[in-house]
Amino acid sequence: MTLSQKLQDAIRVCDLEPTYVEDLARRTIEEDLAGGVDVTSVATIPDEQVSTGEFRARKPGIIAGLVVAATVLEVVGVNDYEILYSEGARVEIGSTVLRARGNTRNLLLAERSALNFLGTLSGIATLTHRWVAEVAHTKAKIRDTRKTTPLLRELEKFAVRVGGGTNHRMSLSDAALIKDNHIVAAGGVVAAFAAIRSNFPDVPVEVEVDTLEQLQELITAGADLILLDNMNLEQTRAAVAMSAGRVKLESSGGLTLENAKAYAETGVDYLAVGALTHSAIVLDIGLDFKDEK
């Protein structure tokens, strides 16, 4: 571990592991260099040149990933930097979110990897914030899914939290989610639920249903959380009435920002939104050098 103690502490405050973040940062730099050097910077910039760069928002949104960008900077040897916003803060066009001073070549080496992390995570946080705002007047919470970029799940789910959302399970071992294929393979929804309870009695269990009949079976069986798969508003309202608060309900499938409010107002506890991580638009952030002449 080569990160500064201050940065390690900041990463842990975000419920992230510093070694994981540092490893990602190192691998992104290695990917960029591909075993060579930055030929453009080496050819055009003196080795001893020093510059000051500012990471600025070019679109408004919710900022996320500042500690990750700072990790990239430290990995390439730029340790003189200042994070100017808190994770989850709203930024406007022109907001300087991070300022760094160091070797010019190193700043340019860090630029793309740092911006890729910042833009992607801020895009997820910004989209999540929009969903959360749509249902803020209800009890429904916006939850993510496992539809994340391979090996970036921890960061992307962190960005969801930054945007005000709630994380679903992080891995297959955290909790059970019995879906349609499990139900078919197990011989029925109640049989699948009973098998989980028997083999993993302490693991949280969520069961997917696509009919009100299945819902009633699971309420009787003692399920705690049921996912309503692709149910329309009328069916969802009926499911809420049927459960009468005995189980928690999560709507999934066919959800959009346009209908989120209506689904949340049915009384469900969660809206499962894969789009938070698989369809977020990158927030436009750039690095600009200050003219120091």
pLDDT at 1 over 90: no
The catalytic residue among 134, 229, 250, 269 is 229
Let me know if 284 is a catalytic residue. Answer: no
Contact in structure between 285 and 56 (CB atoms under 8 Å):
yes
Let me know if 30 is a catalytic residue. Answer: no
Same domain for 155 and 120:
no
Q: Model confidence over 250-284: pLDDT tens digits?
A: 999 999 999 999 999 999 999 999 999 999 999 99
Let me know if 147 is a catalytic residue. Answer: yes
Helix (H, G, I), strand (E, B) or coil at 165: coil
The catalytic residue among 130, 147, 153, 197 is 147
Same domain for 148 and 180:
yes
Burial class (CB in 10 A: 0-12, 13-18, 19+), 246: exposed
Contact in structure between 255 and 264 (CB atoms under 8 Å):
no
Where would I find the H helices in the chain?
Answer: 5-13, 18-33, 39-44, 66-75, 104-134, 153-162, 180-186, 189-199, 212-221, 233-243, 260-264, 275-278
Same domain for 138 and 264:
yes
The catalytic residue among 99, 112, 130, 248 is 112
Residue 293, pLDDT score: 60
Domain membership of residue 97 as a residue range: 5-127+281-289
Let me know if 80 is a catalytic residue. Answer: no
Same domain for 285 and 189:
no
CATH code of the domain covering residue 10: 3.90.1170.20
Same domain for 259 and 164:
yes
Give the residue carrying structure tokens 């139900």.
183
- Domain tally, the chain: 2
Same domain for 263 and 179:
yes
190 — pLDDT class (breaks 50, 70, 90): confident
pLDDT at 209 over 80: yes
Q: What is the mean pLDDT of residues 114-137?
A: 98
The catalytic residue among 12, 179, 246, 290 is 179
Same domain for 269 and 285:
no
Same domain for 238 and 158:
yes
Say what angle helices 5-13 and 18-33 make with each other, to 10 degrees: 110
Q: Model confidence over 210-228: pLDDT tens digits?
A: 999 999 999 998 888 999 9
Same domain for 285 and 272:
no
CATH code of the domain covering residue 193: 3.20.20.70
Helix (H, G, I), strand (E, B) or coil at 123: helix
Same domain for 269 and 146:
yes
Q: Model confidence over 229-249: pLDDT tens digits?
A: 999 999 999 999 999 999 999
Let me know if 293 is a catalytic residue. Answer: no
Contact in structure between 285 and 93 (CB atoms under 8 Å):
no
168 vs 122: CA distance, rounded Å? 19
* Residue in 180, 181, 222, 186 with CA at minimum distance from that of residue 205: 222
Same domain for 229 and 149:
yes
